[in-house]
C-alpha cells in the first residue's frame, strides 16, 4: 500500500481529499498545525497524524519519511490577509513550500503535487491558461507564483516529480471554517444575515466543486507528467450576483444583499480554460453548480457551522 503525505490535511480540501485517498486504497499521513484546520474533520479516520508547522524542518523531515508522494495543500490562502501581512504570507507560502521541497529531495520522495491558484496570473485577461505570463496583483498571488517556480525548478534541477495544479474558486463540504464566498454566504443565510458583496456583484468566478478537484489531485499524483502546471476549473464564468440567486434557489430562502467597497487585490473577472488537463490528465469536471451547491448546503445544515 502506497503512503501519501497530505499537508494541510485537516483543512477544507484536505478533509475531502483524505477520504478519497483512503477509499482509493492509499495509506495517508497528514501534516497539520491546526492553525485553521479542524481536528473534527479527521476524527475516526485511519490516518497517521504529524502535528506541526511546515516551517519546522525536523517536523517536515519526519513527515516525508517513507512516503511515495506529497500533496502540498498547507498554505495561507486569503488575499486580504496577504495584503494585511505580506511577510507572514511569504513565510508560509514560499519558505514553507521550499522547506518541503528540499526535504523531499533529500529523502528521495518521487512525487510532489503543489496546490496553487489563478492568483499568480492577476491582471491577465481570462480565460486563464497555462501559457499566460504571470502578473500577480496581491502578495498572495506573488507567494503562490514563487511556490510554483520552486516546484518547477526542483524538477529542472534535480528531477523531482513535481506538478502544479492551479485551482479555481472552490466550494463544498468541510468548508465551514473557510473564508470562501460560498461558505461565507451559506453561513450568513443560516444566521439570517445579509450577504456582503464587495463591489457591484458583476465580478466573475469559476466555481469548482471540491469532489471534482480531488479527482484532479489524485490524477496529478498518479500521473507520470512532471515539471508542468495545469488549470483545474470548470471553464464556466459565474457572476457573484448569479451565485446568490442560485444559492437562494437551493436554500429556498430569500436573501438580502449588502454592497461594500471592492477589496485591494481582488480580481474583477476570473475563469479558466481546462483543455490541457482534459487532454493530458484525462480529467474534466462533472458536477454542475446547482448540484454542488445543493451538496454543500446539505453539509452546512447537517453540521450547523
140 catalytic? Reply is yes
Residue 69 lies in a domain: yes
One domain, residues 98 and 137: yes
One domain, residues 9 and 152: yes
Match 473577472 to its residue by C-alpha cell.
Answer: 269
One domain, residues 123 and 240: no
Name 275's Cβ contacts closer than 8 Å, sequence gap at least 6.
none
One domain, residues 96 and 125: yes
The three cell numbers locating residue 55: 516551517
pTM to 2 decimal places: 0.94
| pLDDT value of residue 209 | 98
Residue 253 lies in a domain: yes
| pLDDT value of residue 305 | 55
| pLDDT value of residue 125 | 86
| pLDDT value of residue 7 | 99
Residue 229 lies in a domain: yes
One domain, residues 119 and 13: yes
| pLDDT value of residue 268 | 80
| pLDDT value of residue 255 | 87
Residue 72 CA to residue 54 CA, distance in Å, equals: 10
One domain, residues 121 and 82: yes
Which CATH number fits the domain that encloses residue 295?
3.90.25.10
Domain housing 144: 3-171+208-234+274-281
One domain, residues 193 and 110: no
One domain, residues 190 and 149: no
| pLDDT value of residue 47 | 98
pLDDT, averaged per 10 consecutive residues of the chain (305 residues), comes to: 96 98 98 96 97 98 98 95 97 98 99 97 92 96 98 99 98 91 93 91 95 99 98 96 94 89 83 96 97 97 81
DSSP string across 114-135: EEEESGGGTTSPSSB-TTSPP-
The number of angstroms, rounded, from the C-alpha of 218 to the middle of its chain's C-alpha atoms is 14
| pLDDT value of residue 264 | 83
One domain, residues 25 and 143: yes
One domain, residues 76 and 214: yes
Q: Which of 89, 96, 49 lies closest to 72 in space, CA to CA?
A: 96
Instruction: Please identify which of the residues 26, 140, 150, 186 carries the catalytic annotation.
Output: 140
Which CATH number fits the domain that encloses residue 76?
3.40.50.720
Residue 176 lies in a domain: no
One domain, residues 254 and 114: no
Q: Into how many domains does the chain fold?
A: 2
One domain, residues 119 and 222: yes
Question: Are the C-beta atoms of residues 61 and 107 closer than 8 Å to each other?
Answer: yes
The three cell numbers locating residue 291: 448540484
The three cell numbers locating residue 203: 465580478
Amino acid at each position: 500500500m502506497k503512503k501519501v503525505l497530505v499537508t494541510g490535511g485537516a483543512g477544507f480540501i484536505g478533509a475531502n481529499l483524505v477520504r478519497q485517498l483512503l477509499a482509493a486504497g492509499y495509506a495517508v499521513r497528514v501534516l497539520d498545525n491546526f492553525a485553521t484546520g479542524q481536528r473534527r474533520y479527521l476524527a475516526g479516520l485511519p490516518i497517521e497524524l504529524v502535528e506541526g508547522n511546515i516551517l519546522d524542518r525536523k517536523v517536515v523531515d519526519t513527515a516525508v519519511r517513507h512516503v511515495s508522494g506529497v500533496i502540498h495543500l498547507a498554505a495561507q490562502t486569503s488575499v486580504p490577509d496577504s495584503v494585511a501581512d505580506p511577510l507572514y504570507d511569504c513565510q508560509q507560502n514560499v519558505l514553507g513550500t521550499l522547506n518541503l521541497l528540499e526535504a523531499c529531495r533529500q529523502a528521495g520522495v518521487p512525487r510532489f503535487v503543489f496546490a496553487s491558484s489563478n492568483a499568480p496570473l492577476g491582471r491577465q485577461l481570462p480565460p486563464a491558461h497555462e501559457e499566460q505570463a504571470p502578473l500577480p496583483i496581491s502578495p498572495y498571488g506573488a507567494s503562490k507564483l514563487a511556490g510554483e517556480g520552486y516546484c518547477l525548478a526542483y524538477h529542472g534541477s534535480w528531477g523531482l516529480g513535481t506538478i502544479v495544479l492551479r485551482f479555481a474558486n472552490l466550494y463544498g463540504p468541510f468548508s465551514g471554517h473557510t473564508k470562501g464566498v460560498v461558505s461565507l454566504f451559506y453561513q450568513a443565510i443560516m444566521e439570517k444575515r445579509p450577504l456582503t458583496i464587495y463591489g457591484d456583484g458583476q465580478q466573475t468566478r469559476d466555481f469548482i466543486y471540491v469532489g471534482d478537484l480531488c479527482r484532479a489531485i489524485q490524477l496529478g499524483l498518479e500521473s507520470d507528467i512532471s515539471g508542468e502546471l495545469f488549470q483545474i476549473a470548470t471553464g464556466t464564468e459565474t457572476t457573484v450576483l448569479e451565485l446568490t440567486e442560485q444559492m437562494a434557489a437551493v436554500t429556498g430562502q430569500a436573501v438580502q444583499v449588502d454592497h461594500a467597497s471592492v477589496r485591494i487585490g481582488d480580481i474583477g473577472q476570473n475563469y479558466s480554460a481546462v483543455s490541457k488537463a482534459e487532454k493530458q490528465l484525462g480529467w474534466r469536471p462533472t458536477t454542475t453548480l446547482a448540484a454542488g451547491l445543493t451538496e454543500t448546503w446539505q453539509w452546512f445544515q447537517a453540521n450547523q457551522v
